[in-house]
Amino acid sequence: MRASANNKSLLLYCFLVWLPPALGHADTPVPSTSEVPVLSRVEGFGVVVKNAEIALQGDSYVLAADIDYQLSPRAKEALQNGVPLYWDIHVKTQQHRDFFWDKTLSKSAIRYRIQYHALLNMYRVRNEGGGEIYNFSTLSAALDLMSTIRDFRVMDKAFYESGKRYAVGIKVTLDRDALPLPLRPVAYANPQWYLSSDWTLWPLTK
């Protein structure tokens, strides 16, 4: 039953995170909500959209962006124990309006699943939208794949109006609701699981 080894590791890990501190490992004390982003920066983990470019290709505007994933020790530990992590890269295009809320013209997302397979000693990344699967020998190589967006269509040229202002927003979120059920309360209480980025906007020009 070699195929179940990864599931056994995952179940054991989920059991251990629920043990009392004297038997398992204690979680970091939970700071107030306002302290969480500061702690993440100090500890050096989190997700940042480093740069983005929007270019016109044919009849569409396309996005190229680079993302920096810095996983916390707890997230890496979960991965090593077979817990799959789901990441969503949200992309939206907005038209700025002076007297109303900005108008959202398009919304889309790229969803990745990353999991470590102990028997194979490799990390597997799956694009949940297209179904493509990629295998890597190191975590850094797996994250590199998720870090690069190229030629991602954000808006048709026909929607562009001269004199209007447009922007493309990007946000990366760790889907904590997709974690195994026993792990979710820990993920919502421990700031080491606060690994989502803020919205970052870049101007779209003709």
Per-residue pLDDT, 19 = 44
**pTM of this structure:** 0.79
Contacts of 182 (CB under 8 A, 6+ apart): 14, 15, 17, 18
In degrees and rounded to multiples of 5, residue 166 shows phi and psi of: -130, 155
Task: Report the distance separating Cα 199 and Cα 89, nearest Å.
Answer: 10
Task: List the chain domain ranges.
Answer: 2-19+33-85+112-154+179-199
In this structure, the chain runs to a length of 206
Cβ neighbours around 23 below 10 Å, total: 8
Q: pLDDT by residue (tens digit) across 76-133? A: 999 999 999 999 999 999 998 877 788 899 999 999 999 999 999 999 999 999 999 9
Per-residue pLDDT reduced to its tens digit, 28-81: 333 333 333 333 444 689 999 999 999 999 999 999 999 999 999 999 999 999
pLDDT, tens digit (0-9, with 9 covering 90-100), for 143-155: 999 999 999 999 9
Task: Please list the alpha-helical segments (H only) found in 101-169.
Answer: 139-147
Q: Which residue has the tokens 């100090």?
A: 42
Chain mean position to CA 145: 12
